[in-house]
Amino acid sequence: MNSNTVNPAGNNEDEQIDKKELSRVALASLIGTFIEFYDYFIYGAAAALIFPHLFFSDMPPTVATIVSFATLGVAFVTRPIGAVIFGHFGDTIGRKAMLLASITIMGGATVVIGLLPGYETIGIAAPILLVIIRLIQGLAVGGEWGGATTMMIEYAPAHRRGFYGTFVQLGNVLGVLISTMAFALASSLPSEMFLSWGWRVPFLASIFLMLIGIFIRLKIKEPPMFRKMAKDREKNKLPIVQVFKKFPKQIFLSAGLRVSESVVGYLVISYVLQYCTSRFGMHSNTVLIGVMLAACSGLIAFPLWGLLADKIGRRSVFLIGSIGSCLLAYPFYWLIDSGQLWGIYLGLILAYSFVIGSMYSIEPCYLSELFSTEVRYTGVSVGSQLAGIFGGFTPAVATALVAWADGQFWPIAIMIIVSGLITALCALGAGETLGRDLNSSMIPSDKPSSRSKSMLLKTR
């Protein structure tokens, strides 16, 4: 085998992928998740610090914050719809076209939010337009992650799917890191300037990220296993019907696998910012530095979790993360509620690198290995986005729970434990997928087939 080529999982020996193409796909997959989380974090930060004053200024402060966070969550209502739409065309027309469409709509919606007038300018139309834009953005995001994940895993070598899958998730790290820096710079402006126009700059900057993403994705090709499948497939099949017919269990297990990291993730990158600034009177930049440190820890942790998943299996790593989240729930609560800077930073780093990292980093390979090629885009997208509702409304629910508990943070620990138990049970139900043949059109057995094992040995 030529040193410049690799053999993707389940492909025949003559279906070799150039390493440059593999690197290009890794970058194309990363850029979409990067933009998604860049968009999400600047919206989450604005929802905590700006939108209650700009779009919901006629409400009491606590109610305005809850409603503002709710607009963060409404996008997750349309994400499953977007998953069905983009998944359908991604499984029938191709992965590339849908990835180009999703990144264009996602980035464009963020720019429009940056141009939106406030309540004092256009009245009730302001929050209504904000919700409509978020719903449209949710449609695009619903198909983005599943498409990027499917593309990356279908290109990756069999024995390195866990590792290469983390490139999709590193977009989360970079998105949080860059968006935090952008919002921190904007919030360092004098208060009046920040509230009037400074917060808009990170939103408008999304247009440059969108154009870069489109350019990169124009360069990639469809995965060989998809091209082969497209030639052999029967006509007029609806992927959404097929995936629920053949893989109903895997759809809901995929959703459950994402619950824990979704809840903890949105607590870390959104709610803790609002909690620390309101309860302890900390400057937003002080907390944003903690989020940046947590994101930096993910740059190291995510690839390591991927390598571990390629050694000991996906289920084992997921159980480490989900059970670990239950054990760390109260220590996380104590660290954040201490009001001490070192405690808050340590809590954020532990939550991001260990709890989120152990599960989120290997979701691309784990979820992709639960579905066959002809419905993989749809299956991964729908399953993952069903869980997004838990994460999307986490900040709003957390705000309401803490208000109910007279400002105490302990209900958050209960949320983390419950979500961790749900994910642990789903990991047990999903079984181990290490070494599964991605070309198989049948529901895989719990153990790798003999062909899958031989392919793994060859590629090692």
> Crossing angle, helix 61-92 and helix 19-49, to 10 degrees?
160
Other C-beta atoms closer than 10 Å to the C-beta of 221 total 16
Distance from C-alpha of 407 to C-alpha of 398, rounded to nearest angstrom: 11
* Residue 17: per-residue pLDDT: 57
As a dihedral over the C-alpha atoms of residue 323, residue 412, residue 185, residue 194, rounded to 10 degrees, the angle is 160
Residue 8: its pLDDT value, please? Answer: 47
Q: How far is CA 102 from the centre of its chain?
A: 14
Q: How far apart are CA 95 and CA 226, in angstroms?
A: 9
**Two tokens at 130?**
């904000």
For residue 234, how many other CB atoms are within 10 A of its CB? 6
Residues 397-436 pLDDT 10s = 888 888 888 877 788 889 999 999 999 999 999 999 998 8
Integer Cα distance of 360 and 156 in angstroms: 18
Task: In whole angstroms, give the CA distance from residue 20 to residue 31.
Answer: 17
Are 285 and 293 within 8 A, CB to CB?
no
If phi > 0 it is left, if psi is from -120 to 50 it is alpha, else beta; for residue 435 that is: left
Return phi, psi of residue 157, to 5°.
-60, 150
Q: Give the model's pLDDT for residue 351.
A: 92
Report pLDDT for 95.
80
139: part of which helix (H) or strand (E)? helix 125-155
Q: Which residue has the tokens 């069905």?
A: 84
Rounded to an integer, what distance in angstroms lies between the CA atom of residue 288 and that of residue 345? Answer: 10
pTM: 0.80
The CA-atom distances, in angstroms, between 236 and each of 93, 376, 401, 443 are 12, 17, 48, 21
Backbone angles phi, psi at 55, to 5 degrees: -105, -20
pLDDT digit string, tens, across residues 153-182: 988 888 899 999 999 889 878 887 888 788
Please report, in tens digits, the pLDDT of each residue of the chain (460 residues total): 444 555 544 444 334 556 777 888 888 888 878 887 788 778 877 877 788 878 877 777 778 777 777 777 777 788 888 888 888 888 888 788 888 888 898 889 889 989 988 888 888 888 888 888 888 888 888 888 888 888 899 888 888 999 999 998 898 788 878 887 887 788 788 878 888 888 889 899 889 988 988 988 888 887 777 777 666 665 546 778 888 888 999 999 999 999 999 899 888 877 888 788 888 888 877 888 888 899 889 999 999 999 999 999 999 999 999 999 999 999 988 998 888 999 999 999 999 999 999 999 999 999 999 998 888 988 898 888 887 777 777 878 888 888 888 877 788 889 999 999 999 999 999 999 998 888 755 444 445 544 444 444 444 4
